[in-house]
Amino acid sequence: MAKLDVFSEAWCRAWEDKVKASKDFAVYNKGWQGDIGCVMLKDPAANVAEDQYLYLDFEDGVVNGIRMVDKETAENSKFVISGPYVRWKQVANRELDAVKGMMQGKLKLKGNLPYVVKYLKGVQESIRCLTEVDSKFPDD
Tens digit of each residue's pLDDT (9 = 90 or more) over 73-123: 999 999 999 999 999 999 988 899 888 898 899 999 999 989 988 998 998
The residue type of 139 is D
- Residue 87 belongs to domain with CATH number: 3.30.1050.10
Would you say residue 53 lies in a domain? yes
Would you say residue 138 lies in a domain? no
- Domain span including residue 102: 4-131
Would you say residue 57 lies in a domain? yes
58 with 16: CB under 8 angstroms? no
User: What pLDDT is recorded for position 137?
Assistant: 94
Task: Indicate the average pLDDT of the chain.
Answer: 93
Would you say residue 136 lies in a domain? no
Tens digit of each residue's pLDDT (9 = 90 or more) over 122-139: 988 998 999 899 999 999
Would you say residue 16 lies in a domain? yes
Would you say residue 137 lies in a domain? no
User: What pLDDT is recorded for position 140?
Assistant: 87
- Mean of the pLDDT values across residues 32-50? 95
Q: What is the total count of domains within the chain?
A: 1
Would you say residue 24 lies in a domain? yes
Tens digit of each residue's pLDDT (9 = 90 or more) over 24-40: 999 999 999 999 999 99
**Which three-class secondary structure state does DSSP give residue 10?**
helix
Whole-model pTM? 0.90
**Distance between CA 81 and CA 54 in Å, rounded?**
10
3 with 136: CB under 8 angstroms? yes
Judge whether residue 1 has pLDDT over 80: no
Would you say residue 139 lies in a domain? no
